[in-house]
Amino acid sequence: MANWLEGIFQFLFKYRPTEFAKGSLAFGAPFSVVILLLAAAAIGVPAVLSYAGVRGKSTRRDRWVLGGLRVAALVVLLVCLFRPMLLLSAAVPQRNYVGVLIDDSRSMQVADENGKARSDWVEHAFGGPDSTILKALRQKFIVRLFRFSSGAQRVDSTAQLTFAANQTHLGAAVEQARQELDAVPLSGLVVLSDGADNSRVPIGDELLSLRAKSVPIFAVGLGADRFDKDIEIRRVDASHSVLRGGSLVADLLIRQRGYAGARVPLVVEDGGRIVSRDTITLPADGAISPVRVTVVANDAGPRALTFRIPVQPGEQVQQNNAQQALVDVRDGREKILYVEGEPRYEMRFIRAAVEADSNIQLVALQRTAENKFLRLNVDTADELLGGFPKSRAELFRYRALILGNIEASFFTHDQLAMLADFVNVRGGGLLMLGGRRAFAEGGYAGTPLAEVMPVVVSGDAVADSMTFFADLKASLTPPGTSHAVSQIGATPAASAARWNTLPAITTVNRIREVKPGAVTLIKGTMAVGGRAGDPGAPLKSYEQPVLVYQRYGRGLAIAFPVQDSWNWQMDPSSPAEDETFERFWRQMLRWMTSDVPSRVVVSLPTDQSNPKNPIAIRAAVSDSIFIPRNDAKVVAHLTSDSGFTRDLSLDWAIDRDGEYRGTFTPDQPGVYTVRVSAELPGGTTVGDTSYVRVADLNTEYFDAEMRAPLLKRMATETGGKFYTPATAGSLAEDVALSKHGVTVVNQMDLWDMPAVLLLLVALVTAEWSYRKMRGLA
């Protein structure tokens, strides 16, 4: 239909609509609006007067209509006498170059166009010398073909395309092609792609460069911009490190089309072995649904976990149903300091709960009398000999701290500041337990620790700490149902049910407010009396947070205002074989130490990469009190399971204290170990280890729908045009009229258009017909 209408337009006006849109109007004879008005008046006024002087049977309306028709005919003739023409800049044939960039990635194999692959259209339109669009381009330009994935590469024909590349970097590809054609007159770049860029790099700089060089992009979008039936695991976010035997929580984002409301299995595999299985309900079409999965990590070392939804009938893309995450399952021993102000059951039962855990070393410092302490599970005879650490170097050796029923006045002001810095600067985990000497009741309001805590510790809590006592019935909040610390059952649902049946515990700390940004995992319903032990006091029920946390600086601060969680184990209603208490505290201490940084922290941009992609290594180096050091000798020791070994020196990054950088490019697939050692002045050597999995990734199949917005942006910002296969027939003509490269101005007469003759005939015929109809002929 569009071609038929364009043919009629060209018959009437001699030229195509695009030529009128690109051209500008000019006149062969001297022309101005004043001259045109004077000439129109010179011939129009007598014509009107000739009818005005005729009376007879004519009315005033007849005379105006007939005069207007005659004036219109005379004006058309007058305009033709000025010889109007269309000035059109067009590329000189065979003097300009056009670069054609063809997407050679795997996503071009997706068959989403009536069962045909996206690459089929490329073969049809550019597959040979007689291909439609390629033939039209070669009639006007010198054409250079490129295939692109992570970069652009010259090819002689489409026979050299494989459509097997595992990544697409649109920005880098168009910039490389422009640079290669920089020395020749370039009319534009034609990009044939689905727009599925996965470089994670903004394309704005490349578009600015193309615009500055006056190189337009003519983008042809291939593929459907919306799949009919597909399930995709878009992303997996999981902790990069976990202690052996701990619970790993992974957050997945799942999108689907065509399977709304369907229940499908979600399987987690470790080396082909299923370690978790659950059933999920798919969201509405096009919606992105978060799903949280908990996996117990029992095998030490780097583990490549696969999260998979089995392929469903009718899926258009099957490769995007699985994602992988690389997790370092540590088999180290985390050292935690527990400070308790008095002998009590809570400390005894917590120590017993984690005693069998080979990955947790709980060092206890219990005050038995003034300036007298009981030290338990210390490594040396000198450890904590003088009580609580008095220096940052001594305190920062621990990975986490637990403060029991101990008042703020026990610590000096410097020690309280050290505790705050332990979380903020060192990045450790801090847990405050409940008790008569904890929180506001312990005088912590106004101290540096009050700012660290996730709950508001105010000085007006209670005047008499013995006036508040409440039983607490714990239950999970929505965030708590899927958090690792609360998983005391086989599944999240079983855990939530078990929390509702746990025995009541008690609190003596009134928590009135949770800080903005803090997260409540466990809440408690309380029946509160006026004074402990007073059965006649009136009761009222309200909720109070039981387990709250927040990130503070580099570390983690947790509030657990409970004084007898051991009741979960010792209550008569609890079965003797029940391990809820032990599991809860093992998971609590593992959580506290899960993300605690070492003196050297190795950071990689990703845990997975394609072969031959550069990988940047960053290492942050600190001293014993976690002050960044710029004078270390830092070396990255690289090994892989395929036998690769290399030592790479890392250089200090001048723009950031304590940071050292380097880059390596893995050639072969495998799991690469990046072990960084830093030698400080004085001979102290510290280190850290990270891992990256190098493999032929399926990133091309994720978010693989045609991204028209990106391609339209590329065309619009460079002065080009966006097409689909259905509208790409005018591509060659549009490039020729883009006014780029070597051009010539064509003068195309408009006065002899068939439309002008037809207009004159119509006006004269209309005048004669009107006179005939009115009996004035």
Q: How do residues 328-376 score in pLDDT, each as one tens digit?
A: 999 989 999 999 999 999 999 999 999 999 999 999 999 999 889 999 9
Amino acid present at 627: I
Q: How do residues 651-671 score in pLDDT, each as one tens digit?
A: 999 999 999 999 999 999 999
Which has more pLDDT, 259 or 464?
259
Which has more pLDDT, 161 or 61?
161
Span of 272-281, 407-416, 534-543, 571-580 with lowest mean pLDDT: 534-543
Compute the distance between CA of residue 173 and CA of residue 600 in angstroms, rounded to an integer.
Answer: 37
How much is the pLDDT for 3? 61
The region, left, alpha or beta by phi > 0 then psi within -120 to 50, assigned to residue 390 is alpha
Compute the distance between CA of residue 618 and CA of residue 727 in angstroms, rounded to an integer.
Answer: 48
Structural domains of the chain, ranges and CATH numbers in brackets: 3-89+746-774 (no CATH), 93-222+705-741 (3.40.50.410), 230-330 (2.60.40.10), 334-594 (3.40.50.880), 600-695 (2.60.40.1930)
Q: In which band, very low, low, confident or very high, does the pLDDT at 256 lie, cut at 50, 70 and 90? A: very high
Q: In which band, very low, low, confident or very high, does the pLDDT at 302 lie, cut at 50, 70 and 90? A: very high
Q: How do residues 107-150 score in pLDDT, each as one tens digit?
A: 999 998 888 999 999 988 888 667 889 988 988 888 999 999 98
Mean pLDDT of the region 302-313: 94
Q: How do residues 557-603 score in pLDDT, each as one tens digit?
A: 999 999 999 999 998 888 888 889 999 999 999 999 988 999 999 99
Phi and psi, residue 461, nearest 5°: -60, -60
With 60 as the cut, is the pLDDT of residue 323 above it? yes
pTM, rounded to two decimals: 0.79
How much is the pLDDT for 574? 85
Compute the distance between CA of residue 643 and CA of residue 668 in angstroms, rounded to an integer.
Answer: 10
With 70 as the cut, is the pLDDT of residue 35 above it? no
With 60 as the cut, is the pLDDT of residue 90 above it? no
Q: Which of 21, 91, 148, 189 is nearest to 720 (CA)?
A: 189
Which has more pLDDT, 767 or 684?
684
Which two tokens mark 228? 């009919």
Q: In which band, very low, low, confident or very high, does the pLDDT at 530 lie, cut at 50, 70 and 90? A: very low
Phi and psi, residue 579, nearest 5°: -115, 25
Is the CB of residue 124 less than 8 Å from the CB of residue 132? Answer: yes
Helix/strand number for the chain, H first, E second:
18, 35
Mean pLDDT of the region 743-768: 71
How much is the pLDDT for 688? 95
Residues 6+ apart with CB under 8 A from 624: 392, 393, 396, 599
Residues 6+ apart with CB under 8 A from 635: 647, 648, 649, 650, 676, 677
| Arithmetic mean of pLDDT over the chain | 87
Q: How do residues 490-524 score in pLDDT, each as one tens digit?
A: 777 888 889 989 999 999 998 989 999 999 999 99
Is the CB of residue 553 less than 8 Å from the CB of residue 423? Answer: yes
Strand-by-strand arrangement of the 659-664 sheet: 600-603, 615-621, 659-664, 645-652, 633-640, 670-679, 685-694, 608-609
With 60 as the cut, is the pLDDT of residue 466 above it? no
Which among 49-53, 59-63, 537-541 has the top mean pLDDT?
59-63
How much is the pLDDT for 747? 62
With 80 as the cut, is the pLDDT of residue 40 above it? no
% residues pLDDT > 70 (the chain): 86
Angstrom CA distances, 449 to 456, 457, 547, 558, stand at 11, 9, 17, 11
Mean pLDDT of the region 178-207: 90
With 80 as the cut, is the pLDDT of residue 759 above it? no
Q: In which band, very low, low, confident or very high, does the pLDDT at 714 lie, cut at 50, 70 and 90? A: very high
Compute the distance between CA of residue 94 and CA of residue 78 in angstroms, rounded to an integer.
Answer: 40
How much is the pLDDT for 463? 46
With 70 as the cut, is the pLDDT of residue 34 above it? no
How much is the pLDDT for 582? 93
Q: In which band, very low, low, confident or very high, does the pLDDT at 531 lie, cut at 50, 70 and 90? A: very low
